[in-house]
Amino acid sequence: FWMEDFQICPLSTYYKRILIPVSYSLVFLLGLSLNGVLLWCVICRTRRWSNTVIYLTNLAVADLLFVLALPPLIISDAMGNFWPFGNIFCKTVRFVFLVNLHCSIMFVTCVSVHRFIGVCYPIAAVRLRTRKFAILASGSIWILANAEISPTFVFAHTGVINNMTVCFEMTGPTQFDMFFPYGLFLVIAGFLIPFLVVVTCYCSMIKVLYCGAADCISNTRKQRVRKKCLYTLLTVCLMFAVCFVPYHIVRTVYMFVRVYMPGNCHLLNLAMITFKVWKPVVVLNCCVNPLIYFCSSHPKRLKFRACLLALKPRTMCVRSSSSSSSSSSGKYQLKHEPGDINQSAQVITHT
């Protein structure tokens, strides 16, 4: 809430002390562990870095940095919006939160375009789907996201409400008229355009795969594979829409009400509560990306299981039934086949 809002309208904030800390804490634990395992699998147990691996690594880094910005917000909301960390840290946390949120959206968009080219334009994919192009695209995304969110260091700051220091989420009341155009720009450039690109790519891929599945109806195996691809594409598109669309809609409505109808206390209170309630949903996205990746195919589930086994202090393995098992030293190791992370799976072998 804002100082002017609080003076004019009695805004409800009690729900934030429970909703935000509890939901953010769960997301922090899940996001930290899932993205940490994903990064460990990619960096330490993948020999060949394909373009897909590069995109997924950057996406996991963005999600990991995103969840690392949550603990200060958890503490602040649990203390009733009190901000004990100072003005510079307030600006930094808001910047890290937004820049990695937008990086996550952009990398999901980049992966969608990557898949779209491979499915719909397989000939052009040979030239465009390269590691060099993936590195260039990833670097451009980080630079673009940091440039887009850099004004946050100007707008975000601390203020005093009822003798209590708070960290404004967007900006203070005196700067909101300047922030409103910038906030709309972030919604359009940082969400709406990428969302339209993602929807267009997945709709085109679904059309190609669906028509292809109808053509090869006699080949049961190919039909099964295509249907599985369709389900994966629909799941990714649905999760992207659920996590990001409501949040950006209610955020835009809240900014509009805040600027043009500040005296309508009921509407302002409703817009603020709706905006705050949807924030945990957009934060949940950092946990969804690793789950979709690991659950998208059987080899990736094997890789995830092998990575978890490798993280244990003493890895438990099932002994081979071959005759050589009785004469071996009893040591086990984790090996993986060379190849793309999308194609290879961790296997446990007896040495």
Q: Catalogue all structural domains in the chain, each as residue range(s) with its CATH number.
A: 3-296 (1.20.1070.10), 304-351 (no CATH)
Q: pLDDT tens across 186-216, in order?
A: 999 999 999 999 889 888 888 887 775 445 4
What single DSSP character describes residue 325? G
Q: Which residues pair with residue 109 across a beta bridge?
A: none
User: Residue 348 has what pLDDT?
Assistant: 29
What single DSSP character describes residue 284? T
Helices 87-120, 70-78: crossing angle, 10 deg rounding: 130
Which percentage of the chain shows pLDDT scores above 70? 73
* Cβ atoms of 251 and 275 closer than 8 Å: yes
Q: Helix, strand or coil for residue 243?
A: helix
Q: pLDDT tens across 122-145, in order?
A: 888 888 888 888 999 999 999 999
Q: Whole-prediction pTM value?
A: 0.78
Gyration radius of the chain's alpha carbons:
24
Mean pLDDT for the chain? 78
Residue 282, pLDDT above cutoff 80: yes
Please give the average per-residue pLDDT across 260-285, as a whole number: 86
Q: pLDDT tens across 69-78, in order?
A: 999 999 998 9
d(CA 347, CA 299): 10
E-state strands within the chain: 158-161, 164-167, 332-336, 346-350
